[in-house]
Amino acid sequence: MRVLYFSDNSSVHNRRFLEKLASFGHEMWFLDATRDAPPEWPLPAGVRWVRPDRTIPRGAEPSAFEDFLPTLRSIVTALTPDLVHSGPIQSCAYVAALAGFHPLLVMSWGSDLLLHANRNEEWRHATEIALQAADGFVCDCDAARAAALRFAPLPESRIAQFPWGVKRGSFSPIGPVPPADQLALPVGAVPFICTRAWEPFYGVDVLLSAFHLAYSRNNLLRLILLGSGSAAGYVHDFIAGHHLQEVVLTPGAVPESELAAWFRAATAYVSCVESDGTSVSLLEAMATGLPVIVTDNASNREWVTPGENGWLAAAGSAEEFAEKLLLTAALTAEERKAISFRNRQVVERRADWDANFPRLLHLYESVVGSPAGRQAG
C-alpha cells in the first residue's frame, strides 16, 4: 500500500509509527508540514521524506495551516497515495480534510482532542471538519475516543484504539543503571524521575514546586529531571533560587537507548502534565516496575488506580503532588514489590506495541477497501 504519512512534527513517536508500518511492506512517504529539512533521526528503511515547498510553525492556529493546502494537494497529486494518514487533528488532519482526499485516516495525538478541540470556535470548527471527513480514526485512549464521537458519528468499525505502547522487553527492572558519578545518590535516597519536556504545557513548574515542598519534609528525596525545553531558564533559576542544586539532577536529554537505565535508577515516576492521552512515558515507567504519580484526568485513570499502582493528584496542585511524593517515599519494600508486579503485568497485558499494532493495519485495509478508497484509487 502507498501511504502518505502527514504530521506536524518529527518526534520519536512518528519515527516509531513509520518504522513499524514500513516493516509490514507499506510504501511510505513522510511529510512534516513544519520542516523543510529531514528529521534528525535516520528515516526507517522503506520510508521516503517529502520536502514541502513551504512550512507552517508548529502550534499555529488552524487558519495558518490552511495556507499549506496548495502544497498538500500538489504532493498528493504527484505521489498518488492509496491512503493519507494525518494528524494532529487541527493541523494536518484539518488540511487533509480540506484537500478532499479519500481515503483519509485521522490520528489523534491526545491533547488535540482533550485540550485544544474546544479552545475557541476556530479550533472547534477545524476539529469537526477533520473528523467528519475521516474514513478511519486512530486514538490511544477512551477519553480521546469519546471526545471524537462528540464531533462526528464515527462507526466502531472505522476506529482503531490502542496505546502508543512499549516494545516487549525494552523496559524492565533488570539491567544497567547510569554510572554512580552521574547519579551521586546518598545511601537511603528516594529518587523520583520525570522524562517530560521542560515546557509550560508539561507542568514543570508544578513539579518543581511540589518537589520543593516534599523535600522540605523529607530531605532524602531526589529528583531526576531528564530533558530540556523552552522553560530551561526557569528550571535552572528555580533550582538555584531554592538551593536544590545537590538534590535535583538535570542530565539533559538522553538518547532513547539509555532511557531504560535512567528509569531503573529511580524509585518512582512523576508527571504533572495537565492533559494527556495515554502517555508513553507513563507506560515506560510502569514497564520498569515503578510506582507512578500523575495528574488526575480521564486518560490517566485508565491506567492508575490510587493506592494500588500509584497515585493521582489534581492538575496544577503542587500541594497534592507533594503529598503523593511523600506517600510514595514511605512505601515499604513489600509494597513496592507488589506495585512493581502490578504495573509490569498491566503493560504486558494492555500496552504491548507489537501485539496492538495490527489494529492499525486492519484499519488501513478496511479503509482502503471502502467505497471511498476504491474511488480514490
DSSP 325-353: HHHHHT--HHHHHHHHHHHHHHHHHH-BH
The closest of 3, 83, 92 to 47, measured between CA atoms, is: 3
Query: Residues 249-277: what's their mean pLDDT?
Result: 93
180-350 adopts what CATH topology? Rossmann fold (3.40.50)
3-class DSSP state for residue 125? Answer: helix
The residues, any chain, with a CB within 8 Å of residue 151's CB and separated by 6 or more, are: 117, 127, 128, 131, 132
Q: Rounded to a whole number, what is the largest CA-CA distance in the chain?
A: 67
Number of other residues whose CB lies within 10 A of the CB of residue 35: 18
**Spatial distance between the Cα atoms of 316 and 312, rounded to a whole number of angstroms:** 12
**What confidence category does residue 377 fall into, taking pLDDT thresholds of 50, 70 and 90?**
very low
Q: Which residue has the higher pLDDT, 105 or 274?
A: 105
Architecture of domain 2-162+357-376: 3-Layer(aba) Sandwich (3.40)
In tens, the pLDDT along 129-162 reads 999 999 999 999 999 999 999 999 999 999 999 9
Query: Residues 317-338: what's their mean pLDDT?
Result: 97
pLDDT at 72: 98
Q: Provide the residue ranges of all domains of the chain, joining segments of one domain with +.
A: 2-162+357-376, 180-350
Does pLDDT of 376 surpass 70? no
pLDDT at 375: 43
Average pLDDT, the chain: 95
Does pLDDT of 11 surpass 70? yes
pLDDT at 370: 63
The C-alpha torsion from 74 through 78 and 84 to 86, rounded to 10°, is -40
- Cβ proximity of 33 and 55 under 8 Å: yes
Does pLDDT of 200 surpass 90? no
Query: Residues 276-284: what's their mean pLDDT?
Result: 93
Query: Residues 51-64: what's their mean pLDDT?
Result: 96
Does pLDDT of 201 surpass 90? no
**Spatial distance between the Cα atoms of 243 and 33, rounded to a whole number of angstroms:** 42
Q: Is the whole-model pTM more than 0.75?
A: yes
pLDDT at 371: 53
Does pLDDT of 107 surpass 90? yes
Sign, CA torsion 47/50/51/55: negative
Does pLDDT of 216 surpass 60? yes
In tens, the pLDDT along 161-180 reads 999 999 999 999 999 999 88
Query: Residues 175-196: what's their mean pLDDT?
Result: 91
Beta strands in the chain (DSSP E): 2-7, 27-32, 47-50, 83-86, 104-107, 136-139, 159-161, 190-194, 221-226, 248-252, 268-270, 292-295, 310-313
Query: Residues 22-26: what's their mean pLDDT?
Result: 94
Query: Residues 51-69: what's their mean pLDDT?
Result: 96
- For residue 103, whether the previous peptide bond is cis, meaning omega lies within 30 degrees of 0, is yes
3-class DSSP state for residue 24? Answer: coil
If you ran DSSP here, which 8-state letter would residue 258 be given?
A: G
- Could you give the percent of the chain with pLDDT greater than 90? 91
**Spatial distance between the Cα atoms of 349 and 365, rounded to a whole number of angstroms:** 25
In this chain, the answer to whether the domains covering 2-162+357-376 and 180-350 adopt an identical fold is yes
Q: Which residue has the higher pLDDT, 25 or 377?
A: 25
Query: Residues 329-344: what's their mean pLDDT?
Result: 97
**Spatial distance between the Cα atoms of 348 and 163, rounded to a whole number of angstroms:** 12
If you ran DSSP here, which 8-state letter would residue 33 be given?
A: T
Does pLDDT of 119 surpass 90? yes
Q: Which residue has the higher pLDDT, 301 or 371?
A: 301
**What confidence category does residue 351 fall into, taking pLDDT thresholds of 50, 70 and 90?**
very high
Query: Residues 11-32: what's their mean pLDDT?
Result: 95
